[in-house]
Structure formats: structure tokens, C-alpha cells
Amino acid sequence: MDKLKVGIVGSKFAAMLHAESYKRCPDVVIASVAAVDNLNEFAGTYQIPNRYDDFREMFAGEKLDIVSVCVPNFLHKDVVIAAADAGIKSIICEKPLATSVEDGLAMIKICREKQVRLMYAEDWIFAPALIRAKEIVKEGGIGDILYVKAKETHNGSHSVFAQKKEYCGGGAMIHLGIHPIGFMPWFLESDIVQVMAMITEGAGNNLVHKDYTGEDWAAALVKFEQGARGFVEGNYITCGGMDDKVEIYGTEGNIHVDLTMGSPLTVYSRPGYGYALEKTDFTHGWTKPAVDEFMSLGYINEITHFVNCTRNNLEPQKGTTGEDGLKALSVTFAVYESAEKGQVVKISKQ
Ligand SMILES: NC(=O)c1ccc[n+]([C@@H]2O[C@H](COP(=O)([O-])OP(=O)(O)OC[C@H]3O[C@@H](n4cnc5c(N)ncnc54)[C@H](O)[C@@H]3O)[C@@H](O)[C@H]2O)c1
């Protein structure tokens, strides 16, 4: 069986997450990478033979089966459309799908026209703890879901692009809160139809990051089509490492999921050691290091699933289609509209 050939656009954090995950797929080879910095370092680490500083040249010069789009948000549209135009049949786009609903719609339109499989990389949907939680709910273990609370928070983005609204599309909600926003409809099997939100509006109005032009704190109450309520939060004001938590309340019980801090390891170290957890500052004293973040946050299962879809010509699972990415984007921009107007915003179907 020939190995599937992958091209990655981007060479930093998200590209690393994809490359680490492809490494665990035996029927895949990362053939090429395109990026504007860190190119040789990244290609060297993952032994990628072909390197480009222009993604269009990579698409023209290589016969790729899959492309991973791991560039800043504002470039997702251009890269996805160029890949679809080049006839690459499987495109994995990092979250958020785009920096506007209009761009997301354009990407989906082109991919449909070119019969390209556009896959939306919401890793939470593949996180083992959340999959298990969904199984328990499906079994009736907590009765009917009434309320879901979910957040991704940390102390600020490593990416300069994420710090500027013009490149990111917003701030903490589009960059971090988009995970719970993408995850919840999959979990409840019901779309978000209404939001009521509040955000710090960026720059001088931010709580901590006055140099970020997008908000550094955002929260929204949401209503699902099936009637349940939810609470979504994304913020850059949380010290101590990335804190991703989900609480699910049902008529017969509840489930608490700690995606990042719930390690089975507890370490006390006087000298400190290399790495504990995404976005922690140090490793001295008591720490709870992650065992395998690529697995616990869903990246391995996600890439394995997308490779399988490509190999067997299958549609990606619910929650990870381009259309699902667009829904998450619509909810995110409804959050911004609600915060700006101070009103409940209803989400129209795309
Ligand atoms: N799913 C997740 O958990 C997760 C985590 C981190 C980032 N992301 C997403 O991944 C994307 C990238 O984030 P990051 O943290 O790696 O960003 P980053 O700023 O660290 O890296 C950006 C990368 O894009 C490349 N790039 C910039 N302009 C380019 C161009 N014109 N052509 C080719 N390459 C170009 C740069 O060389 C660099 O490798 C973002 O959309 C982000 O939202 C997702």
C-alpha cells in the first residue's frame, strides 16, 4: 500500500502538533512543508525532504494527498482555496475556520465545487476523556443533559498573530473559546441557537494584555436547539498552565472533565525539569506533568481519523466538517455581536 503524502503549511506550534500526530500514522509520509520562518529547523526535526517558502509552489510542485493548514487564522482562506484549486483532495484546516463568516462560506463553496474534503481540526472532539464522557451520556448515565459549562484558558498566546485582531479575527473567544463552541454541539447533538455574551474589548479595556488588540477575557451564555443551556469561556488571564475544563449536568447526574490538569503524575522537583504542561512557567516544586498531551487533547485521534477518511474516501465525523467549522465561526461572531450590543443574539442557520 502506497503511503499517503502529506504537505504541511506552517512550521511552528500547530504544525508541530500535526507532525507529531502524523508520526504515529504508519501509512503516511510528510513529504513537504511550506512556511516563512522556522522552515529548516522544523523540516530537520521531522525529516521532511521538500521545503518551500511559498505554499502555492508546494501545491504546484508536489502530488499531495493531504494538506494540513497550520498558518495564522487570516491565512486559512487563501491556503485552503489554493489547495482546493490545486486539486488536493483532503484539506485539514486548523481552528478557527476563518476570520469571518464570509471567508468561511467562500472556502466551503470552493471546496464543494472542487469536490474537496474540507476537514475542520477541532481536537476536543477526539479527546479520549470527552469521547468517554459522551459514551456515558449516551448510555443514560446522567439522564438528559440540562447544562454544559466549558472553557479553555491560559496566560496568553505564544503567537504574535493571535494577539492582533486583524490576523486572528478577535481575541480569546475566537482563539480559545472556539474549542468549547465547536465541541458542545457535537457533544449534545444539538446546535447553539442563541448567545448572550460579555468580553473585554481589547487593548486598554483588557484586564491584563493591553498590547493585544483582541479581548483577553470572554464569556457567553448559550442556548441549544434541544433546550439545554451552556456557558463558554476563553481567557488569557489564567496563570499556571492551560486550563481546559468541561462540566456536564444532567437530570440524573453530572460529569467533570479536566483535560489538562488531571494528570495521574504528581512530581516534586527541587531542580525542575524540562516540561510539565502547555503554558506553565516553571517545573520546580510540586507539578502535575502531562503524560501525553498529543493524545489527551485529541490530536492523535484527530489526525488518524482524517488520514482514515482520506484513505477510505469517507466524510469526516460530525463536528469536524467544514460546515461544522463554519457553524462554530457563526456562533463566535454572534458572541462578539452580543457583547457589542449588550443583547441576546439568535444564530441564523447557514
Ligand atoms: N488545535 C489547536 O489546539 C491549536 C493550537 C495552536 C494553534 N492552532 C491554530 O493553528 C494555526 C497556527 O497557529 P500557531 O500557533 O502555529 O502560529 P504561529 O504564529 O506559532 O506560527 C505561524 C506559522 O505560519 C507560518 N506562516 C505565516 N505566514 C505564512 C505564509 N504566508 N505562508 C506559509 N506559512 C506562513 C509561519 O512560518 C509559522 O510557521 C492558527 O490558526 C491557530 O489557531 C490550533
pLDDT in tens, the chain (350 residues): 799 999 999 999 999 999 999 999 999 999 999 999 999 999 999 999 999 999 999 999 999 999 999 999 999 999 999 999 999 999 999 999 999 999 999 999 999 999 999 999 999 999 999 999 999 999 999 999 999 999 999 999 999 999 999 999 999 999 999 999 999 999 999 999 999 999 999 999 999 999 999 999 999 999 999 999 999 999 999 999 999 999 999 999 999 999 999 899 999 999 999 999 999 999 999 999 999 999 999 999 999 999 999 999 999 999 999 999 999 999 999 999 999 999 999 998 76
Instruction: From the CA of 15, give the closest atom in ligand 1.
Output: 16
Does ligand 1 have an atom closer than 6 angstroms to the CB of 70?
yes
Residue the block writes with cell 483535560? 259
Would you say the CB of residue 73 lies under 6 angstroms from ligand 1?
A: yes
Q: Which atom of ligand 1 is nearest to the CA of 12?
A: 39
Q: From atom 4 of ligand 1, which residue's Cα is the shortest distance away?
A: 14
Asked if 109 contacts 85 with a C-beta cutoff of 8 angstroms, the reply is no
Assess whether the C-beta atom of 34 lies below 6 angstroms from ligand 1.
Answer: yes
Residue partners of 316: CB distance under 8 A and separation at least 6: 117, 119, 120, 305, 306, 309
pLDDT for 118 equals: 98
Question: Do 4-124 and 125-298+329-346 come out as alike in CATH topology?
Answer: no
Cβ of 223 closer than 6 Å to ligand 1, yes or no, is no
Question: What is the CATH code of the structural domain delimited by 4-124?
Answer: 3.40.50.720
Q: Quote the pLDDT of residue 350.
A: 66
Interatomic CA distance for residues 270 and 128, integer angstroms: 32
| Cβ(121) – ligand 1 distance below 6 Å | yes
Are 165 and 171 a contacting pair, CB within 8 Å?
yes
Q: Does residue 294 contact residue 17 with C-beta atoms inside 8 Å?
A: yes
Residue 343: per-residue pLDDT: 98
Nearest Cα residue to atom 2 of ligand 1: 14
Max Cα separation, the chain? 59
Task: Kindly report whether the global pTM for this prediction surpasses the value 0.85.
Answer: yes
Q: Is the CB of 72 under 6 A from ligand 1?
A: yes
Pocket of ligand 1 contains residue 152 by CB under 6 Å: no
CB atoms inside a 10 Å sphere around CB 30: 24
Residue type, 92: I
- As a whole number of angstroms, the distance between CA 295 and CA 102 comes to 33
* C-alpha cell read off for 310: 482520506
Q: Is the CB of 14 under 6 A from ligand 1?
A: yes
Ligand 1 centroid, distance to 14 Cα (angstroms): 6
Length of the chain: 350
pLDDT score recorded for residue 344: 98
Q: Where are the domains of the chain?
A: 4-124, 125-298+329-346
Quote the ligand 1 centre to 15 CA distance (angstroms). 7
- 144 C-alpha to center of ligand 1: Å? 39
Cα distance between residue 123 and residue 136, in whole Å: 20
Are 344 and 143 spatial neighbours (Cβ–Cβ below 8 Å)?
Answer: no
pLDDT of residue 120: 98
Residue identifier of the C-alpha nearest atom 18 of ligand 1: 159
> 68 C-alpha vs ligand 1 centroid, how far in Å?
11
Evaluate whether 21 touches 127 at the Cβ level (below 8 Å): no
| Domain 125-298+329-346 class, CATH top level | alpha beta
Q: Which of 81, 62, 59, 79 has the alpha carbon at shortest distance from 71? A: 79
